[in-house]
């Protein structure tokens, strides 16, 4: 997920995700979806493995670090109480500042403890049916110049898939960080740079992706891993979209269908493009099938969005559901959250601050004070109105995204942030249990 820069703000109001299950190779007729007037559309899994909407959760901040998810790993670098000087802004600089040996020790400890088998058992018991697991290219291959640690991430991914299978969960494997960064966000591993499509970087990323596609599309994994996301959140507004399509996405599709002869589902993030932008690219048809579109939705990365009242937040959320109904690809909302503020520490990045309370430090952003972030992570200070608004917003998003393929909320746990932590949201009654329960039904009718 998500320390988003101002570059994508104009695009964030339009997003969603997509998925399908294994379907017989070269049989496009099996990729059909139920669609009647005024009825919701669901996956038609021929093997009956998931005859319901995707109701998933992201395993964020685990195999790819994000400072706001695990701030303690980054607070270890603090030199003074006044500012964030000297604190690494992403995993690249975390490893660079520590050096390989120390970085490996700290990361291996993190990978071994932040998620364990009990988490997957809880996720299943709470009614989720899928997990999306982000991983960076450096888990599989590194450059000579890379400070990244290539440690046990791949083994941890495989263990997570085994746990998911044990508890009846399906999995999306998500390539979250490309060589050179596909978006310049800390969630790609490297903040600031966007050099993904440089020839050398692209070639290495393709090599890693092909390895992932071959491995996780094999018979060993195919029943549980029902989708591979080709790249998370490429920043379309600044990338060469033709190159992204023709040098990366289309070759990946051809590799899976023609080289691997696999029916694995391939997930394409919308690259922050408008609804229907992708309708003619790898569109479902006799010779093209099994491509799902991934839209990500947030309303906290501009002051205009943060200033909305709850009725407007709900209205926008509902529009995300109706917006995908006539897209040619099946879709799922692969990221969204309960957040109505950007107050979570380092959500916008180390050293940047929050728009909500006016502390945002990037110039020419146009942000202004909306409200206080004081005690934001202490639920006892939340008013009843704020709790009700958060629950309303969550329920509206769930209902909107189930108009089509479903949803995968970001993310299951953090160290301290209520608005981005499903465990806390459930505990505090801000996320429905059971998942189909509604305190505010019919908001998107």
Active-site amino acid positions: 233, 335
Q: Half-sphere exposure of 62 toward its Cβ, with a 13 Å CA cutoff? A: 27
Distance of CA 213 to the CA centre of its chain: 19
What are the CA-CA distances from residue 290 to residues 158, 253, 266, 321, 388 (Å)? 23, 9, 6, 21, 39
| CA-closest candidate to residue 415, choices 21, 65, 155 | 65
Is residue 268 within 8 A of residue 244, CB to CB? The reply is no
**Cα–Cα distance, 31 to 20 (Å, whole number):** 8
Residues 6+ apart with CB under 8 A from 180: 190, 193, 194, 195, 196, 198, 201
CB atoms within 10 A of CB 442: 9
**Assigned token pair, 183:** 């978006």
| CA-closest candidate to residue 296, choices 408, 171, 177 | 408
What is the b/e burial string over 316-348, where b = at least 16 CB atoms within 10 angstroms of the residue's CB?
A: bbbebbebbeebbbbbbbbbbbbbbbbbbbbbb
**Running DSSP on this structure, what letter comes out for residue 259?**
I
**Cα–Cα distance, 266 to 198 (Å, whole number):** 23
CA diameter of the chain = 62
Distance of CA 343 to the CA centre of its chain: 19
Phi and psi torsions of 443, nearest 5° = -65, -30
**Cα–Cα distance, 316 to 303 (Å, whole number):** 15
């Amino acid at each position: 997920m998500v320390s988003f820069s101002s570059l994508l703000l104009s695009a964030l109001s339009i997003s969603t995700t997509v998925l399908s299950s294994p379907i017989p190779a070269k049989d496009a007729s099996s990729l059909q979806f139920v669609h009647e007037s005024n009825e919701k559309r669901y996956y038609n899994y021929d093997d009956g493995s998931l005859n319901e909407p995707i109701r998933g959760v992201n395993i964020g901040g685990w195999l790819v670090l994000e400072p706001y998810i695990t701030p303690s790993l980054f607070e270890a670098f603090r030199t003074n109480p006044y500012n964030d000087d000297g604190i690494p802004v992403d995993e690249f600089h975390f490893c660079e500042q520590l050096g390989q040996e120390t970085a490996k020790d700290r990361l291996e400890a993190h990978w071994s403890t932040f998620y364990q088998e009990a988490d997957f058992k809880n996720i299943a018991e709470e009614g989720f049916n899928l997990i999306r697991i982000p991983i960076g290219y450096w888990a599989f291959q590194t450059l000579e110049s890379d400070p990244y640690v290539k440690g046990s991430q791949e083994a941890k991914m495989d263990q997570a898939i085994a746990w998911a299978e044990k508890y009846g969960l399906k999995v999306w494997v998500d390539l979250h960080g490309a060589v050179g960064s596909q978006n310049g966000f800390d969630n790609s591993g490297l903040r600031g740079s966007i050099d993904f499509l440089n020839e050398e970087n692209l070639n290495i990323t393709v090599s890693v992706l092909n390895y992932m596609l071959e491995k996780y599309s094999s018979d060993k994994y195919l029943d549980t891993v029902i989708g591979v996301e080709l790249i998370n959140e490429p920043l379309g507004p600044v990338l060469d979209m033709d190159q992204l399509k023709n040098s990366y996405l289309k070759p990946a599709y051809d590799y899976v269908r023609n080289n691997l002869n696999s029916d694995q589902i391939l997930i394409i993030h919308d690259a922050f493009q408008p609804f229907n932008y992708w309708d003619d690219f790898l569109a479902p048809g006799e010779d093209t099938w099994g491509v799902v579109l991934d839209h990500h939705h947030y309303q906290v990365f501009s002051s205009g969005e943060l200033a909305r009242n709850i009725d407007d937040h709900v209205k926008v959320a509902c529009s995300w559901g109706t917006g995908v109904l006539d897209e040619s690809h099946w879709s799922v909302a692969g990221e969204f959250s309960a957040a109505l503020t950007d107050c979570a520490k380092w959500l916008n990045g180390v050293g940047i601050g929050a728009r909500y309370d006016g502390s945002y430090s990037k110039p020419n952003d146009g942000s202004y004070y909306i409200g206080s972030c004081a005690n934001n992570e202490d639920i006892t200070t939340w008013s009843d109105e704020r709790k009700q608004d958060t629950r309303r917003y969550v329920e509206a998003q769930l209902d909107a995204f189930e108009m089509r393929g479903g949803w995968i909320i970001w993310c299951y746990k953090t160290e301290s942030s209520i608005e981005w932590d499903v465990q806390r949201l459930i505990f505090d009654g801000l996320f429905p249990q059971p998942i189909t329960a509604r305190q505010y039904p019919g908001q998107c009718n």
